[in-house]
Amino acid sequence: MAKTAQLDIKAQNISEALRDFFRSMLQLEEISEIMVQQRLSLMDGRKYLVMPSLVSDPERLDGVDPLAPVFPMNAARIVSRLTRKQSGGKVAVVLRPCEIRAFVELVKLKQGHTDDIFIIGFDCPGAYKNTDYFRLLEQHGKGLSQEFCQNVFSGKGSVIGDKDIAAACKACEHPIPEGADIGIGLFGVDITSHLLIQALTPKGEELFAKLKLSESDEPQKRQSAIAETVAARTAYRDKMFAETDEAVNGVEKLTAYLANCVNCYNCRVACPVCYCKECVFVTDVFNHEPAQYLQWARRKGLIKMPTDTLFYHLTRLAHMSTACVGCGQCSNACPNDIPVMELFRTVAYRTQKAFDYEAGRSTEEAPPLSEFREHEFGEVVGIN
């Protein structure tokens, strides 16, 4: 049973309660910096971009807003940069559940380490697409995060005006921060008065003790609230899988599905677990000779430009389907609103299921195809 404490909220201000909590963490001798999402003022303060920020001064945490319903990037990649080599300090990193799972994959791929960090996770209510978030922000201002959380965790739902959270969030069956050292609980909690703080690992228990938190019981309705949320998201996910299967059934349909791709490679750049130092698609391999394009056009009568979009996505699918955590950053980064996430999640779910593997579940599980397993796919290789 995880050690649990209540974090009191004054005047129903969740961001202020979290700010004070993170300040108390940063004042501990064990923690030199904290990486947390903060509001960064833009355009004369009329817009607020919420981005991961590395903070060493407790007094610089005024803009803390990790529950803001926006997800401009998966911060697992930032944590990877912070932990590839020893830094000389221990950092607390505040992450969404999908960011934790992406970082777990990066650790297994030798792109980061957990030794010098404390992972602080929180129950994730989801996030809007970046463009939708800014439109809502213009209407609701800094109070948007508070309104959104109160709606979601009181059962009113995630729709504000005519905007709903991104499809990746609606299809995410992992809203709880599994793999965190310290968890911040919101589902099944009266967030008008308090949040839950839970120690989920031995490292988290040590931090919990140093923070001198008073233990309390987990609310009885918390587990049922989590189960209800997971059930709703799983149902949405399965419906999404079925619709995507129909939309890409065959080469012609798949080609049409990806027809608006302009080879910007934003999806590759935004993907937290696409870690290759040099991608084949940014080398000279696909710099075809001018005469080649003309030959293709003469043979077919017409060719769509650029020519390698379908091959690009198929290659990424083959490369990434075992590691995809479904964070949705590929779709969030697409300039032409191609439902890339839906395609990748559909293929990744089936691929991972075939290997009895779940990306981000545990650092102890070796990635598929990274080791020989004698009894794997015996019906294919003919080993009895």
In a domain? residue 345? yes
Question: Whole-angstrom distance between the N-terminal and C-terminal Cα of the chain?
Answer: 42
Instruction: Return the closest-CA partner of residue 343 out of 370, 321, 362, 376.
Output: 321
Q: Is the pLDDT of residue 42 over 60?
A: no
pLDDT of residue 382: 59
Which two three-digit tokens encode residue 20? 């004070």
Q: Identify the CA nearest to 264 among candidates 223, 309, 205.
A: 309
pLDDT tops 60 at residue 381: no
Token pair 């650790």 in the structure block, residue: 107
Report residue 48's pLDDT band, with 50, 70 and 90 as the boundaries: low
**Structure confidence by residue, pLDDT tens digits, 81-127:** 999 888 788 999 999 999 999 999 999 999 999 999 999 999 999 99
Task: Look at residue 286 in the predicted model and tell me its pLDDT.
Answer: 78
Strands (E), 3-131: 3-8, 33-42, 47-55, 91-95, 117-122
Q: Is the pLDDT of residue 277 over 90?
A: no
Question: Is 105 within the bounds of a domain?
Answer: yes
Number of domains into which the chain is organized: 2
pLDDT tens digits for range 74-94: 999 999 999 988 878 899 999
Residues 63 and 149 in one domain: yes
Distance separating alpha carbons of residues 67 and 64, to the nearest angstrom: 9
d(CA 212, CA 125): 28
- Check whether residue 216 and residue 79 sit in a common domain: yes
The answer on 292 and 151 residing in a single domain is no
The pLDDT confidence band at residue 304, using thresholds 50, 70 and 90, is confident
In a domain, 200, yes or no: yes
Which among 162, 187, 221 is the end of a domain? 221
Find the mean pLDDT for residues 317-328: 93
331 pLDDT tier (thresholds 50, 70, 90) = very high
Residues 42 and 165 in one domain: yes
Instruction: Identify whether residues 100 and 204 lie together within a single domain.
Output: yes
How far is Cα of residue 211 from the mean position of the Cα atoms in its chain?
28
The predicted structure's pLDDT at residue 11: 84
Show the 3-state SS of 236-297: HHHHHHHHHHHHCCCHHHHHHHCCCCCCCCHHHHHCCCCCCCCCHHHCHHHCCCHHHHHHHH
pLDDT at 95: 98
Residue 76 burial class via C-beta count within 10 angstroms: exposed 0-12, middle 13-18, buried 19 and up: buried
DSSP 3-state of 322: coil
Residue type, 107: V
More confident residue, 232 or 143: 232
**Domain contains 196:** yes
- 226 belongs to a structural domain: no
The pLDDT confidence band at residue 384, using thresholds 50, 70 and 90, is low
**Does 231 fall in a domain?**
no
Full residue range of the structural domain in which residue 169 is found? 3-221
Do 205 and 58 share a structural domain?
yes
Instruction: Enter the pTM of the model.
Output: 0.92
The whole-number average pLDDT for the span 369-378 is 72
- Please tell me which residue, 304 or 383, carries the higher pLDDT value: 304
| Vertex 1: Cα angle to 121 and 16 (nearest 5) | 35
Q: pLDDT band at residue 379, thresholds of 50, 70 and 90?
A: low
**In b/e form, how buried is each residue of 364-380, taking b as 16+ CB within 10 angstroms?**
ebeebeeeeeeeeeeee
Residue 229 covered by a domain: no
The C-alpha atoms of residue 325 and residue 305 are separated, in whole angstroms, by 31
Residues 133 and 175 in one domain: yes
Are 276 and 367 in the same domain? yes
What are the tens digits of pLDDT across the range 115-164?
999 999 999 999 999 989 989 988 888 789 999 999 999 889 999 989 99
- pLDDT given at position 1: 65
The pLDDT, as a whole number, for residue 86 is 82
Angle between helices 97-108 and 76-83 (to 10 degrees): 40
Report the percent of the chain where pLDDT is more than 70: 95
Q: How far apart are CA 57 and CA 47, in angstroms?
A: 24
Q: Are residues 206 and 242 in the same domain?
A: no
Mark whether 245 and 205 lie in a shared domain. no
Q: What is the largest CA-CA distance in the chain?
A: 76
The C-alpha atoms of residue 255 and residue 272 are separated, in whole angstroms, by: 25
212 with 249, same domain: the answer is no
Please tell me whether residues 128 and 261 are part of one structural domain: no
Residue at a domain's end among 221, 246, 269: 221
